[in-house]
């Protein structure tokens, strides 16, 4: 993929949605459809990685909250 990848989850997900719409709503030549599919797969992987990283951050925050003693 020669294009720069989106840097935020929202941008990557939006680009992925556009690709899905193009693939679903048009009769593309095979080569163009394959390129779009490849771009979509890369964006999907990128989104999954971002979500996994966010989940790990939330888990770490939750763990640190559990270890914090609340003094009254």
In this prediction, residue 65 carries a pLDDT of 72
Range 25-33, long-range pairs (CB < 8 A, 24+ positions):
none
Per-residue pLDDT, 10: 96
Q: Could you read off the pLDDT of 3-33 as tens digits, one per residue?
A: 677 889 999 999 999 999 999 998 999 999 9
Give the pLDDT of residue 69.
56
- Contact predicate 19/36, CB 8 Å: yes
Which residue did the predictor score with more confidence, 1 or 66?
A: 66
Give the length of the chain. 72
Q: Is pLDDT at 38 greater than 80 in this prediction?
A: yes
Alpha helices (H) in 1-72, listed in sequence order:
9-25, 30-67
What is the tens place of the pLDDT at every residue in 49-62? 999 999 999 999 98
End-to-end CA distance of the chain: 56
């Amino acid at each position: 993929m020669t294009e720069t990848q989106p840097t935020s989850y929202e941008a990557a997900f939006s680009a992925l949605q556009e690709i899905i719409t193009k693939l679903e709503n048009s009769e593309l030549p095979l080569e163009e459809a394959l390129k779009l599919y490849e771009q979509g797969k890369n964006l999907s992987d990128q989104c999954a990685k971002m979500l996994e990283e966010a989940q790990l951050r939330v888990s770490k925050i939750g763990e640190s909250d559990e270890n914090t003693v609340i003094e009254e």
